[in-house]
Amino acid sequence: MEHFTIATVAEKSPDFRRVLWTGDHTQLVIMTIPPGGEIGEEVHEGIDQILTFVSGTGEARVAGETKEVAQGDLVVVPAGTKHNFVNTGPNPLVLYTVYGPPEHADQAVHHTKAEADAAEAAGEDEPPTS
């Protein structure tokens, strides 16, 4: 059994992206976006994503719509939908997200967005295959 006090685990992570758990069909990832930072506009073909915000404030930009997000908010991004999440506040925007199926390499840790982008560009952040 895997058990996480997810808000506490997410709050303690300074990393841009940390994969906590990877299953055959889903993946649990925590993220910390620094003030003024963003995830970056992207589209996940064939992968649904659910994001839950633990602390901080930001904007969810999904399918051409923009909504403010804060602690306790949840945003669903269906597969194939253009999206970005931007930290608009003075503190880190902390969240956890579930991908279905997995999107990142199992156990991946990226300390910064630049590190995450470089790993993706180098093909080092590929999800496991069954």
H or E element that contains 117: helix 113-121
**CA distance linking residue 110 with residue 29, whole number of Å:** 11
- Taken in order of first residue, the domains within the chain and their CATH numbers are 16-122 (2.60.120.10)
Contacts of 52 (CB under 8 A, 6+ apart): 73, 74, 95, 96, 97
pLDDT at 68 over 80: yes
Q: Single out the residue of 3, 34, 50, 2 nearest to residue 110, CA to CA.
A: 34
Residue 115 has pLDDT above 70, yes or no: yes
Confidence label for 106 from pLDDT (cuts 50, 70 and 90): very high
Q: Tell me, what's the pLDDT at 129?
A: 80
Sheet with 57-62: strands ordered across: 65-70, 57-62, 83-87
